[in-house]
Structures are given as C-alpha cells and as structure tokens.
Amino acid sequence: MPLYMDVHNLQGVTTAQIDEAHAADLKEQGKYGVKYLKYWFNQNHGKAFCLVDAPSAEAAQLVHREAHGQVAERIIEADPELVEAFVGGGETSPSGAVLVPGGAGIERDSAIRTILFTDIVGSTNEALGDDAGMALLDIHNTIVRHALAAADGREVKHTGDGIMASFLSAAAAVHSATGIQRALAKHREEHTEHPLKVRIGAAAGEPVEREHDLFGATVQLAARLCAHAEPDQILVSNVIAELCVGKGLPFKDLGDVLLKGFSHPIRVQAVQWSGAA
C-alpha cells in the first residue's frame, strides 16, 4: 500500500490527548484497510504528524474523522526512503509516539529537522584534472562524514560536489558545520598546493512542506543559503540561530537577504567559526 504522512494543526493539545487520538485511530483503522504506524508531536508549534499505510489518502482521513474528528490539514504520499533518511526509523513508545535519545534518557521526537548542504568551491576536476579532483573530493567526503558522525548527523545524499545531511538538533548541525570548516582550514595549512574550500548552508523546519517532497521548503532554503555563502562561510536561517539560543554558539546577523525561489527576503545568520577568512 502507499505510504502517507499527514499534518495536523493542533494548537493547545497535550501529549496525553495525542496519545488518546492515536489509540482511537488504531481501533478504527481496520474498517478501511489502514495501518497507522507512528506519529510525531511538536507541542511548542501545535503540530502533529502521522505516518500511515493506506489504500488512499481518503481512507486515512476517514479513520481520523470517525476515531476523533481531528482530520489532517494535509495528507501527502511519501517515499519510504525519504522518510527514513530525513526523519529516521525511530523507536516508538507504547502509544506509538516516535522517540529519540535525549539528555535525560528517551524523549519524544518533535519531527523538526535541520538540513545542511556542503558545496566544494569551484570545479576541482576542471582545475586539477580528474585524478587530483577526485582526490580532493575524497578528502571532502571523509571530513564531512566524520563531522556528521560526531554530531549524530545523517547523510541524505551526495550531490556531486557536496553532501546533503539531516540533523535532529540545530545546535548539532552548527557544531558539525564548524567542525567541517576547521578541519578543512587545517588541511589547507598542511596542503597549500591544492587548497580545498567549501561553502555551507543550513535551514531548519518541519518534515512536510509541499506535496510529494518531504522537507521541500527547508531543503530549498538550505541549498540557497549554501549557494549564497562565500568560500569558507557557513550561512544559516534565522530559525537555526533562535533554536540555538543559550547554546553559546556565535552568530553574526546579516539581515534580510533575497534568495532565488523565495518571494520574501530571508533573515540570514553567519556562523562565526575560528579560522574564518
């Protein structure tokens, strides 16, 4: 059966009420050949997300309507591999809530993710030839993947001249980006003949933004910020800076910036990392 993710706007609802609603879905789902698999709840934003196997979006909506009347704002067909890459498999509580390891043990997953892009400055193959260019790409890949592993980042895909990654934590994404730039700066000090420079962009958002594209708007924003960044620079959305308040991470407010594909200016922050040019 197709896999769907639905989005609920549930301002003022508690986790206990969400648990009860999901339990009611499980009681009704068999009538329509539907199977609700797991759910995420972001209480601060009043949003809930359900992952469901269903013969159709309409069947999934019928279960919600009969079980508790809290129908979804949107139901979007989802690629199972994208769900796994962005949101992760996720252990669930007895009620069906997705859990993640937290500072005090196991916590509910809010489903907000930070998306990060790296991009090698210039075409290494054209400038250096295939062999030297591939060698620099391998160095980039090693440095980035090491930084992702250190910050619990998840590689989504390789873009040819960079890597796209997903993080549970905005602060972890910033730490990872900083680690990447510092490692690259050290590599340039030791290998002056072929300096490797990278630009990085990151944005944070909810898992469903537009039809058939998990993290659509957030992915687009992260990619545009990466493209807008200068060599060695880390640019992030203002949301990331807000999520990192109290974390001791240094940002420089660059103000509102017009980015391709966005009708309104975007507030942009630069991450201040030691060794930046």
Per-residue pLDDT tens digits for 81-118: 778 777 776 688 888 998 876 655 578 888 889 999 99
Count of positions (residues) in the chain? 277
Contact predicate 123/129, CB 8 Å: no
Closest to 4 measured CA to CA, from 36, 47, 26: 36
pLDDT in tens, 163-186: 999 998 999 999 999 999 999 999
Sign of the CA dihedral running 261, 262, 265, 271: negative
Distances (CA, A) of 1 to 56, 87, 92, 162, 214: 8, 20, 22, 34, 19
Distance CA 271, CA 225 (A): 12
Burial of 66 (0-12, 13-18, 19+ CB in 10 A): middle
* Per-domain residue ranges of the chain: 3-108, 113-271
pTM, to two decimals:
0.84
- What does the pLDDT read at residue 165? 94
CATH 3.30.70.1230 fits 113-271, yes or no: yes
Distance CA 14, CA 216 (A): 28
CATH 3.30.70.3090 fits 3-108, yes or no: yes
Distance CA 188, CA 213 (A): 37
Q: Percentage of the chain with pLDDT > 70?
A: 91
Indicate if 113-271 has the same CATH topology as 3-108. yes
Burial of 212 (0-12, 13-18, 19+ CB in 10 A): exposed
Residue 200 has pLDDT above 70, yes or no: yes
| Longest Cα–Cα distance in the chain | 68
pLDDT in tens, 110-119: 888 999 999 9
Distance CA 160, CA 137 (A): 9
- In what helix (H) or strand (E) does residue 67 lie, and over which residues does it extend? helix 57-67
